[in-house]
Structure 1
Amino acid sequence: MLLPALFLILGLVLGFLTNITIPDVYANYLSIAVLAALDTLFGGIRTQLEGKFDQSVFVSGFFFNVSLAALLAFIGVQLGIDLYLAAIFAFGVRLFNNMAIIRRVLLEKHRIKKNN
């Protein structure tokens, strides 16, 4: 569980220390890719806490989610509609759901530890 959190912190530090700007054309793609990556990261943390973590599922899910989100954004741009909003909604709901489950699992582990 420490490895995903470590790489999240490392990525944030590198992002804040560098002065790289993303062109506005790619803003929709990047926002969806980041949201999909965060969804996968918190899903991995959740499954690790539940004792069901599978590295191959995590890695394949990461690349699949990011690719699918980028594809939805691309198709939306080609059609002239904001199709990326559907991906933002779906990944946002999953992200908050994963965070709620992580919170419940940690609270339950704390209660068990406190009672023992």
Structure 2
Amino acid sequence: MIGFAFAGLLLGLILGVYCPFRVPPEYARLLAVAVMAGMDAVLGGVRASLEGNYDTQVFISGFFINGILTAFLCYAGNLIGIDLYLVAVLIFGMRIFQNLGIIRRLYMGK
């Protein structure tokens, strides 16, 4: 299973280097927040897998719904002049580091 994750990561890196893709500056913040939401979902899936309660449907729905909802809320915030992406970056950053800490402890066996 971990081999598929590394293969997907390697494929994504290769595609990112060799396929030029430009994001318009007005959407860069939305993409950054959506990527952080995806990272949060992936690390949550790894954590759930290590804890023994992983569910594919929960992971897939969380991955897409969190990313889409977060990007939409940040876009709506931009329309009314509120920088909601800062809140999303703060919360997802906190959750990512929390999941990484728990994953580290689970790997260490504590």
TM-score norm. by structure 1 comes to 0.86
Report the counterpart of residue 24 of structure 1 in structure 2.
25
How big is each residue's C-alpha offset from its partner over 1:6-31, in whole Å with a ceiling of 9 and x where there is no partner? 32332222112221111101101110
Structure 1: gaps spanning 5 or more residues: 110-116
1:97 — aligned with what? 98
Change (3 A) 1:94 1:5: farther
Query: Structure 2 matches for 1:1-116, cutoff 5 A?
Result: 1-2=1-2, 3-108=4-109
Q: Tell me the alpha carbon deviations over residues 19-57 of structure 1, each in whole angstroms, 9 at most, x when there is no partner.
A: 111110110111011111111111111111111100000
Amino acid across the alignment from 1:6: A
Give me the whole-angstrom Cα distance separating, in 1, the residues matched to 2:66 and 2:36. Answer: 9
Aligned identity (percent) is: 46
TM-score (norm 2): 0.90
Over 3 Å off, 4+ runs: 3-6
Kindly name which structure, 1 or 2, has the bigger radius of gyration based on alpha carbons. 1
Q: Quick one: which amino acid aligns to residue 8 of structure 1? A: L
Alignment RMSD (CA, Å): 1.5
